[in-house]
């Protein structure tokens, strides 16, 4: 019986196998790359939907052609690989030692799509780990420079002005939550969920926190189910220094062209960057994979997660906007 790894190698050349079913290889379209090549830029996987994935995009047509060939050749061959735990991967099925099918894989439909996306995410994470040291050097953005570079100078404004300036980020129809962490879940908490126009009148005294998403009218519980679709992706890190998370903000804004609206000094050790939330779920999941590798806090990827609101005080220090898009 054939070994699928031998078949894969006949398509892509030598493979540096990292597991029984996945390894790094030379991209079939390497000559088309417009950026420097890395040893881990391209990966081939023979499990699930057999797939070659390259981190570069300029080679997509060559990779697509190689994928068709890989799947065609694996589809007409009988093959098997011994897996850990006494299991066997045979022509796409995972078998128990008694020969019964434990898991059946298909090469089209939802399962294939999911398998391909898992492979993409794994490759994205590997490349993000490789790029991480270079990130902090190439996109160095220290705190003083962030303040200096702000298109609108807001760091000297008082608490009320800070708060009302931040409100301008939101469309007028939005209902925004402001409160303390536990100001949610009971009918009396409806007062923490107000239209933007109401917050202009009240000010920030309701609490130290808000969310990167607006909520449905009438909400009294801060949950993803009550979010109404208007949202920001708020990025922060509990482990990175301010200048390091500044580099992450600069990378997202300058290299990946995610729209940066504001940066907030939380009056603690961290900064919060407010970006447009990706509309495409696949792009969003890949971005989150990269940010986690960089050291950003994955809790903030939940759109109903509390984040610091400017214009409120934390242990006597003002939470404030330090960078604001004009």
Q: What local confidence, expressed as pLDDT, does residue 279 receive? A: 84
pLDDT at 104: 42
Q: Are residues 197 and 253 in the same domain?
A: yes
For residue range 50-97, what is the model confidence (pLDDT) as tens digits? Answer: 788 887 878 889 998 998 898 888 776 655 556 555 555 555 454 444
* 230 shares its domain with 247: yes
Whether residue 153 sits in one domain with residue 206:
yes
Domain end call among 134, 167, 183: 134
- pLDDT given for residue 229 in this prediction: 80
What integer pLDDT is reported at residue 4 of this predicted model? 83
Same domain assignment for residues 305 and 172? yes
**How many structural domains comprise the chain?**
2
103 and 150 assigned to the same domain: no
| Full residue range of the structural domain in which residue 34 is found | 4-134
Q: In whole angstroms, give the CA distance from residue 161 to residue 114.
A: 47
How far is Cα 270 from Cα 239, in angstroms, rounded to an integer?
9
Considering the domain architecture, whether residues 222 and 105 belong to the same structural domain is answered as: no
For the record, the structure tokens of 264 come out as 């907030």
Q: What pLDDT score was predicted for residue 111?
A: 52
Q: What whole-number distance in Å separates Cα of residue 274 and Cα of residue 320?
A: 13
Q: Are residues 58 and 179 in the same domain?
A: no
Q: Give the model's pLDDT for residue 85.
A: 53
The dihedral through the CA atoms of 180, 185, 188, 189 has a sign that is positive
How close are the terminal C-alpha atoms of the chain, in Å?
A: 65
In a shared domain, residues 119 and 258: no
Q: In a 10 Å sphere around its CB, with 0-12 CB exposed, 13-18 middle and 19+ buried, how is residue 49 labelled?
A: buried
User: How many helices (H) and strands (E) in the chain?
Assistant: 8, 19
Which of 116, 134, 152 is at the close of a domain? 134
Angle at 87 between CA 48 and CA 13, to 5 degrees: 50
pLDDT tens for the chain, 326 residues long, are: 578 888 899 999 999 988 777 889 999 999 998 888 888 888 888 866 678 888 787 888 999 899 889 888 877 665 555 655 555 555 545 444 454 444 444 444 445 556 667 767 877 887 788 788 889 999 999 999 999 999 998 877 789 999 999 999 999 889 999 999 999 999 999 999 999 999 998 877 688 999 999 999 999 999 999 999 878 999 999 999 999 999 999 999 998 889 999 999 999 999 999 999 988 888 888 899 999 999 999 888 889 999 999 999 999 999 999 999 98
What would the two tokens of residue 202 be? 């009240």
The model carries a pTM of 0.68
On whether both 163 and 310 belong to a single domain, the answer is yes
Among residues 134, 157, 174, the one where a domain terminates is 134
Domain co-membership, 148 together with 89: no
108 and 152: one domain?
no
Q: Can you say whether the dihedral through the CA atoms of 211, 216, 217, 220 is positive or negative?
A: negative
Residues 106 and 9 in one domain: yes
């Amino acid at each position: 019986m054939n070994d699928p790894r031998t078949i894969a190698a006949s398509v892509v050349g030598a493979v540096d196998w990292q597991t029984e079913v996945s390894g790094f290889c030379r991209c079939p379209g390497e000559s088309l790359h417009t950026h420097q090549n890395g040893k881990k830029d391209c990966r081939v996987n023979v499990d699930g939907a057999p797939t070659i994935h390259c981190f570069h995009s300029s080679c997509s047509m060559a990779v697509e052609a190689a994928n068709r060939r890989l799947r065609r050749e694996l589809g007409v061959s009988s093959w098997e690989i011994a897996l850990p735990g006494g299991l066997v991967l045979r022509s796409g099925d995972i078998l128990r030692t008694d020969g019964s099918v434990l898991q059946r894989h298909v090469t089209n439909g939802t399962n294939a799509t999911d398998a391909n996306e898992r492979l993409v995410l794994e490759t994205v994470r590997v490349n993000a780990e490789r790029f991480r040291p270079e990130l902090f050097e190439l996109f160095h953005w220290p705190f003083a420079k962030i303040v200096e570079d702000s298109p609108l100078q807001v760091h000297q404004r008082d608490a009320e002005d800070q708060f009302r300036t931040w409100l301008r980020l939101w469309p007028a129809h939005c209902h925004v939550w402001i409160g303390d962490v536990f100001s949610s879940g009971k009918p009396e908490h409806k007062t923490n969920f107000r239209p933007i126009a109401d917050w202009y009148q009240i000010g920030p005294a309701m609490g130290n926190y808000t969310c990167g998403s607006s909520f449905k009218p009438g909400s009294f519980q801060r949950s993803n189910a009550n979010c109404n679709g208007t949202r920001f992706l708020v990025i922060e890190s509990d482990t990175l220094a301010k200048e390091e998370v500044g580099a992450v903000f600069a990378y997202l804004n300058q290299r990946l062209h995610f729209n940066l609206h504001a940066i907030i000094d939380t009056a603690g050790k961290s900064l919060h960057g407010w970006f447009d939330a990706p509309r495409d779920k696949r792009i969003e999941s890949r971005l989150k994979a990269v940010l986690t590798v960089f050291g950003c806090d994955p809790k903030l990827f939940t759109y109903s997660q509390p984040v610091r609101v400017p214009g409120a005080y934390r242990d006597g220090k003002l939470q404030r906007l330090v960078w604001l898009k004009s």
